[in-house]
């Protein structure tokens, strides 16, 4: 799994990788866990395929990494490389499965904050954050989006390498209009430009924190909150998990690669409906404003 490989390369190797399998102790594992929780290994790095990769710290990342390391050492014990598993007995942080979502009042604050930020914050950063609000994408996917990935006429983006592999994403009309407002600079160019050069918008997280703070939102509202809010709002509107997963790129979701077919129309309708409701709550549109009724093939 890509996420496991990322935890090994980003957390485990830097913190305990210099010790032999037989030499790692429970104290080493505990120090590793606390370091990850404190953000010692959190970073953003450029990647060849998508431009930017984000490795997060925090207690959740620490707990998941320790669990992964436990599996690694269980294999080592089974192979006779050491007599015991040093992860056994380590008291991991409790994982909080309840994720934050925006309230109606926070949606309104967010909308006002985005409009105010247009005059004071780097415009592509404001646009990228607005894109996250109406799509539920991961931050790295939005700021790594290239014009060659997007087909606005068919309202689809094909991301060749995401956290869950190749991903086909239906786009709402609102999202397409946002993208169409920017000049297309060539297929290899990034949609949301950096402040300097042709690389990724590496300062996006800082811009996002600034916009959210100036909007008067609590500190626990992050770009990931926008993703969870999109999915939660879609569930409130009655859309199935499979549909929502296809819209935001969950690992278990998939839609047809033949995205030119009308069979994808229900996905586009779902994207429109959720985006319309989101924009209504942020004060930028009325409910249903971008929803277009769709007819089955052959119906005139």
Instruction: Let me know whether 200 and 240 are in one domain.
Output: yes
Token pair, residue 224, equals 């990931």
Helix, coil or strand: residue 280: helix
- Domain span including residue 9: 2-78
Residue 196 · residue 114 · CB < 8 Å: no
- Least confident range from 154-158, 171-175, 288-292: namely 288-292
CA angle (250 as vertex; 49, 57 as ends), nearest 5: 70
Asked whether residue 179 falls in the same domain as residue 41, the answer is no
Which of the pair, 270 or 161, is modelled with greater confidence?
270
Tell me if residue 111 falls in helix, strand or coil. Answer: helix
Residue 83 lies in a domain: no
Residues 122 and 248 in one domain: yes
What average pLDDT does the segment 173-189 reach?
93
Residues 262 and 168 both lie in one domain: yes
* Angstrom distance (rounded) from CA 120 to CA 225: 23
- The first and second tokens of residue 142, run together, are 């939005």
Q: Cα-Cα-Cα-Cα dihedral of 24, 25, 28, 29, to 10°? A: 90
Residue 86 lies in a domain: no
Residue 75 structure tokens = 């294999």
DSSP 8-state class, residue 146: B
Q: How far apart are CA 22 and CA 84, in angstroms?
A: 9
Residue 268 and residue 128 in one domain: yes
Least confident range of 149-153, 271-275, 282-286: 282-286
This prediction has a pTM of 0.64
- For the chain, give percent helix, strand, coil, nearest 5: 50, 10, 45
Using an 8 Å Cβ cutoff, are 250 and 277 in contact?
no
Residue 300 is predicted with a pLDDT of 34
Lowest mean per-residue pLDDT among 41-55, 150-164, 169-183, 221-235: 41-55
The 10s digit of each residue's pLDDT in 186-208 is 999 999 999 998 889 989 999 99
Which residues have C-beta within 8 Å of that of residue 61, sequence separation ≥ 6? Answer: 7, 11, 36, 37, 42
Of the listed ranges 50-54, 123-127, 146-150, the one predicted with least confidence: 50-54
Whether residue 208 contacts residue 133, with contact meaning beta carbons closer than 8 Å, is answered with: no
Q: Are residues 23 and 162 in the same domain?
A: no
User: What is the rounded average pLDDT of the residues 88-115?
Assistant: 86
150 φ/ψ angles, rounded to the nearest 5 degrees: -110, 135
* Three-state SS at 166: strand
What pLDDT, in 10s, does the model give residues 195-245?
998 889 989 999 999 999 999 999 999 999 999 999 999 999 888 888 888
**Domain-embedded: residue 294:** no
The count of structural domains within the chain is 2
- Does residue 258 carry a pLDDT above 80? no
Residue 51 shares a structural domain with residue 200: no
> Do 122 and 270 have their domain in common?
yes
């Amino acid at each position: 799994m890509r996420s496991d490989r990322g935890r090994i390369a980003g957390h485990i190797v830097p913190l305990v990788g210099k010790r032999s399998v037989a030499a790692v102790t429970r104290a080493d594992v505990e120090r590793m866990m606390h370091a990850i929780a404190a953000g010692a290994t959190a970073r953003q790095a450029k990647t060849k395929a998508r431009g930017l990769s984000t490795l997060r710290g925090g207690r959740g990342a620490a707990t998941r990494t320790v669990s992964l390391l436990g599996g690694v050492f269980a294999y080592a014990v089974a192979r006779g490389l050491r007599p015991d598993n040093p992860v056994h007995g380590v008291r991991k942080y409790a994982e909080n499965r309840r994720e934050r979502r925006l309230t109606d009042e926070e949606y309104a604050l967010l909308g006002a904050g985005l409009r105010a930020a247009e005059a004071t914050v780097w415009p592509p950063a404001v646009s990228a954050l607005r894109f996250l609000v109406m799509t539920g994408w991961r931050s790295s996917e939005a700021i790594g989006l290239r014009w060659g990935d997007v087909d606005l006429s068919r309202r689809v983006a094909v991301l060749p390498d995401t956290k869950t592999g190749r991903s086909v994403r239906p786009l709402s009309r609102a999202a397409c209009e946002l993208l169409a407002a920017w000049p297309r600079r060539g297929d290899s160019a990034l949609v949301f430009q950096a402040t300097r050069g042709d690389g990724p918008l590496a300062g996006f997280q800082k811009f996002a924190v600034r916009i959210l703070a100036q909007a008067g939102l609590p500190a626990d509202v992050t770009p990931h909150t926008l993703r969870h809010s999109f999915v939660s709002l879609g569930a409130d509107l009655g859309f199935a998990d499979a549909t929502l997963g296809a819209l935001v790129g969950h690992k278990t979701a998939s839609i047809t690669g033949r995205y030119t077919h009308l069979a994808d129309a229900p996905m586009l309708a779902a994207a429109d409906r959720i985006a319309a409701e989101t924009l209504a709550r942020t004060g930028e549109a009325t409910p249903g404003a971008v929803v277009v009724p769709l007819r089955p093939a052959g119906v005139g």
